[in-house]
Every structure is written in C-alpha cells, then in structure tokens.
Amino acid sequence: MNKHLLTLHDWSSEEILDTLELAKQLKEEQKAGITHHHLKGKTLGMIFSKSSTRTRVSFEVGMYQLGGSALFLSANDIQLGRGESIYDTANVLSRFVDGIMIRTFKQSDVEDLAKYGSIPIINGLTDLVHPCQILADFQTVIEKKGKLKGLKMAFIGDGNNVAHSLLYGCAKVGMDIAVASPKGYECDAEVVKNAIEDAKATGAKITITNSPEEAIKDADAVYADTWVSMGQESDKEEKVKIFMPYQINKELFSLAKPDAIFLHCLPAYRGYEVTEDVIDGPNSVIFDEAENRLHAQKAVMVKLMK
C-alpha cells in the first residue's frame, strides 16, 4: 500500500478500489453499531491552513470512531505559517503523532511533509487536488450505480482541484469523464496529460471541452462545484458572468441519462453553479456524498496508519 495520499495519480487502481471496498465495510459496520477500533491509541495531527466544516468534522469523528484521537492545528497554532520550515515541522510532528492530514494552499507543502516526515501524510485539499473528496464521490456512485467502470462522469465548471482529482480518479478506475470549462478556466495541462496516460491502462475516455452540452450528454453522474473558491472572492462578479452558461439547471441536466445522479462537494451556492430544482431534486445525492467523506477517509486512515 502507498504510504501517503498526496494525489490519486500516485495510487494504483487496486489501491483505490480496495480502499473503497473497506469504506463500504466500515460504513456498514458503523450503521450496524459495530465498533471497529483499528486505530486504537493512534493520533492524527490535522493541519488547517484553509478552514473547513466537512474536512475537520469528518476526520475528527472518523478518528474517534476508529478508536484514536485527532488534534486540530490551525495556522495560528503552529509555526509553519510563521517561518518554521516544513522540514522542521515534518520531523517534529513525526515524533508526536502517527499521521498528518493537511488542508492547505500549495501542493508542494503536502509533498514536502511527505518527503521530510516519517509518518503517513493525507492531502485534505490543496489548490491542485482534493483526493479524499473523490474517494467519497466514488463510494456514492458505487452505492447508487453498483459500479464505476464504464460509467460516464460529467464535471461542469472551473477546472479546479476537484476537477483535477476527478480526472485522476476516473482514469484509474476506468470511468469515462468529460470536463467542460470556459476558455481560460480549463484544467491544468499536466494533470490532463497524466490522466490520459493513466487512462490507457483502464480504457477510460477523457474529454476536455468548452461545451457543457457535450460534456453532460448521456452522463451517469453530473458534478458541479462552486465557481469562486476560498481566497478568490474578489473575482466573484467577473466569474459569475463567465460561468453562468455553465450553470447546471433542469434544461442542461435533462441531457444526461434519465437516472443520472447529481453530485456536489459543497458548500453549494444555489442559483449560481446549480439551480434549486437540480440540487434539491430527486436525482441529487449530495448529502449521501457528504456523509461518505467520513467513511472513505476512515478507510484511508486505516490503510495508511494501521
């Protein structure tokens, strides 16, 4: 098993599918009231340079359910943001805790923690990728569709960290993916190149387009994310104008398969990236998806920290 979760590009198809199988098992056990203290006595350090509701609660509760404990470290609590090197931080924390989950801006911070520390590092989100979210998304798709391979995922919106991780994840599990973004807001070229390379092994088809209609056609799962990410609020007015043709409304959603599910990593802004009749409609699975962050991340922690 890979020692860290930095990006899904680093994981093999088997590692992803095994983790999803464990996530399913852990969820079933938790629902049945079975305790599973796989990480008894272990501690997860949680570094938050970017705040979050779902990431903090799901990791903290997840560690508690696994019999361990989680330590919340904001940018104000540690010296990382005030000049201490990542080399020193990684070495010191490696002596105190059994794993680190970090939610931050730069992907290089996550990579450096893994490079210099001696404990597993879990990427809770960077500006480049969001791997834990995609594992929860895949768990949700399997619950609703029974499989991943051969299905089509459509992502409509900004070519951001969620889009990047969906490209990597879909390529690894054999799921076709189409990403539609406005000109100038497409996915990172290197990520696309890596995903196309990964897809050769599984037969997944990758489509990058500026047309939301092309991307969503015959999709089994349709995905939206906020147009304005944390830290980019000053661009909001301009981005709303550019992205409005990419809004997932009933008309656009009707081009997907009739039984297509709607996914959103939340927080969502109704009336912007998605209309109420879609996100609160019968095809929406956003709260199952949010819950699965807990179970998918528990599976990651067991795989890496046990």
Q: How far apart are alpha carbons 116 and 113 in whole angstroms?
A: 5
Q: One of 109, 265, 295, 297 is an active-site residue; which one?
A: 265
The residue annotated as part of the active site, out of 103, 164, 264, 295, is: 103
- Residue 265 falls in the annotated catalytic set: yes
- Look up residue 129 and give its DSSP letter: -
Which residues 6+ apart lie within 8 Å of 40 measured at CB? 66, 67, 68
Out of 65, 133, 139, 297, which one is annotated catalytic? Answer: 133
- Is 187 an active-site residue? no
The secondary structure of 83-123 as a DSSP string is: T--HHHHHHHHHHH-SEEEEE-S-HHHHHHHHHH-SS-EEE
Query: Which candidate in 225, 247, 264, 295 is catalytic?
Result: 225
If we measure between CA atoms, which residue out of 294, 262, 221, 299 comes closest to residue 16? 299
**Residue 288 annotated among the catalytic residues of the structure:** no
CA distances from 298 to 140, 189, 290 (A): 15, 32, 14
Q: Is 132 a catalytic residue?
A: no
Which residues, in sequence order, are bridge partners of residue 156?
Answer: 180, 224
3-state secondary structure of 270: strand
103 given a catalytic annotation: yes
| Among 4, 9, 54, 130, the one annotated catalytic | 130
- The residue type of 157 is G
- Give the active site residues: 103, 130, 133, 225, 265, 293
